[in-house]
Amino acid sequence: MSTEMSEGKTYALLHTIFDDSPIGLVITNVNGTIEFVNKRFCETTGFTPDDLIGNNPRILKSGWHSKEYYTQMWNTILAGQAWNDIFRNKKKNGELYWEQQYIFPLKNNSGQIIRFISIKVDVSRQKEYEEKLIAAEYYLKSIFNALPTLMFVITANGTIREIMANDEQLLYVERQAVINKNIQEIFPPEKAMLFMDFINRTCETETSQTIEYPLETLKGYRWFEARSGLMKNMDEPLIIVVATDITERKNYEKQLQSLIETKDKFFSIIAHDLKNPLHAIMALSEMLTNENYIKENVTEIAHMLHEAGQSAYGLLENLLEWSRAQTGKIIFSPSKQNLSSLVDDSITILQNHAFQKNITLYNCISDSIEWTLDRNLIVTVIRNLVSNALKFTPNGGFVKIWAETQPDQLVLCVEDNGKGIKPEILPTLFTTSNITTPGTRNEKGSGLGLLLCKELIKIHKGIVVPYTGLIDPFGCYVRNSSRYTRAASLQKASKGKAVNSLSNYLLCRSEGLHARPC
């Protein structure tokens, strides 16, 4: 009798423990029929013990898991093994919830399974947090992958713990070769010192630091901007470094610096070159105000004033055109033009200069040649080229302008019998590094005219490059060459687009050039 009472008390005690447990508890027989549920499980699911006892656990089935999933679970527990997984079940009101479920078989002394005990913990809130974290991680990775950045997680002593890169070609070496390696093992001493100083400053100041640095990457030579941040709420302080590829920005900065230097150079040249004609104008005008000047010389002085004014005007006009070309403000308006008439208009203003040096100007272009181009721009080009030819042609010389056409290209040539140019100057002829030399009458120049020609021909889809030797494609040979420059043909430069646009430009000044009839 005392043994039965003792067993009864033990059973009552276990029942109380199970029923008051803070975790859900379900006991079924070997067929899966529910024999016991505790209070916590009923509170979680909304079912009463009467709803559940005598029923099968499939009453909780949500439809989330497949038939194969349940088959695998039953095969496992019927084999005497425990099953542990997160289930998605359904409450009495139809609401879905997540539960961590542990199912293990209860055996008798003979090892025979007599019950299944299922311990259940509601983990819905935990799953909600996990899903939010996964979504946030995916969101952050999507943002990160859209940016040209690298992210490094580095310890205070310089060991790289993690790397995230949307383009691993921007790394110094492959990712696997740097994880858990120290910066000083990876980079050359100079770069390692730069990066360690960056990390040390971040740790010491506990504020974000920024550096810019070049690096030879798997993708080639690149520039980066790196920003740091310190994370202290970890087992060890970690530095987060985000490096952004700024190579394109650096290239723009370099181009901008080059433009600023070019501008400064031209301002210096223009200021210097403007002084000469202005000084001449001031000196000549002073002579006119002098009571002792000889009145018979007034015509000569007027001519000299005109030349000085024309020189200053031409210089300022070229500067304005070049400035517009550099800022993209030139309006390109091509139309069909008669080339001979265009050349006549271009050289009219230069006839007095030619007369002063007794130089004969020849327009050898056929009246039948027409071409689609921007009249104003090409007038500027021809005027500058002829002016340059006059500068280097001796008294009594000649300057000829001729042209040849084919269906898809135009060659325009300014030919003279001037003194020529040194070969070493040819590579810089159409650049800002061009150093001008005095003309045959010691005429000065800024070098801006030839540079402007290059820009205006470029707008016409042509290029101007210094060249000496054989003139092709027309078999015109240069003997005793002094200088000529030819633009690549349209077919070569722009692969045949825009037929009938100015695509070939030829500037010649040579002695003994193949004869052209005039």
User: Quick one: CA dihedral 230, 233, 234, 235, positive or negative?
Assistant: positive
CA distance 494 to 492: 6
Residue-wise pLDDT for 230-240, tens only, equals: 988 667 889 99
Q: Which CATH topology does 147-245 take?
A: Beta-Lactamase (3.30.450)
**Owner of token pair 């030399």:** 437
In this structure, the number of other CB atoms found within 10 A of the CB of residue 381 comes to 28
**For residue 517, what pLDDT band results from cuts at 50, 70 and 90?**
very low
Q: Which residues contact 106 (CB under 8 A, 6 or more apart)?
A: 113, 114, 115, 116, 117
CA distance 211 to 204: 16
CA distance 485 to 403: 14
For the domain bounded by 248-329, which CATH number is listed? 1.10.287.130
Tell me phi and psi for residue 439, to 5 degrees: -80, -170
Strand 210-217 with 160-165, pairing: unpaired
| Strand ordering across the sheet containing 220-231 | 160-165, 149-155, 238-245, 220-231, 210-217
Domain boundaries, the chain: 2-123, 147-245, 248-329, 333-518
Q: Which long-range contacts (CB under 8 A, 24 or more apart) does 226-233 make?
A: 226/198, 228/198, 228/199, 228/202, 229/202, 230/202, 230/203, 230/206, 232/206
Of 43-57, 265-279, 371-385, give the lowest mean pLDDT range. Answer: 265-279
User: Quick one: CA dihedral 342, 345, 346, 351, positive or negative?
Assistant: positive
Evaluate if residue 189 carries a pLDDT over 90: yes
Residue-wise pLDDT for 145-182, tens only, equals: 666 688 899 999 999 998 888 788 899 999 889 999 99
Q: Which CATH topology does 333-518 take?
A: Heat Shock Protein 90 (3.30.565)
Looking at this protein, which amino acid is placed at residue 260? I
pLDDT (0 to 100) of residue 269: 58
pLDDT (0 to 100) of residue 434: 61
Residue-wise pLDDT for 398-407, tens only, equals: 988 888 887 7
The overall average pLDDT reported for the chain is 77
**For residue 352, what pLDDT band results from cuts at 50, 70 and 90?**
confident
Evaluate if residue 273 carries a pLDDT over 80: no
**CATH fold match for the domains 2-123 and 147-245:** yes
Of 21-30, 95-104, 261-270, 434-443, give the lowest mean pLDDT range. Answer: 261-270
Q: Which is more confidently placed, 395 or 315?
A: 395
For the domain bounded by 2-123, which CATH number is listed? 3.30.450.20
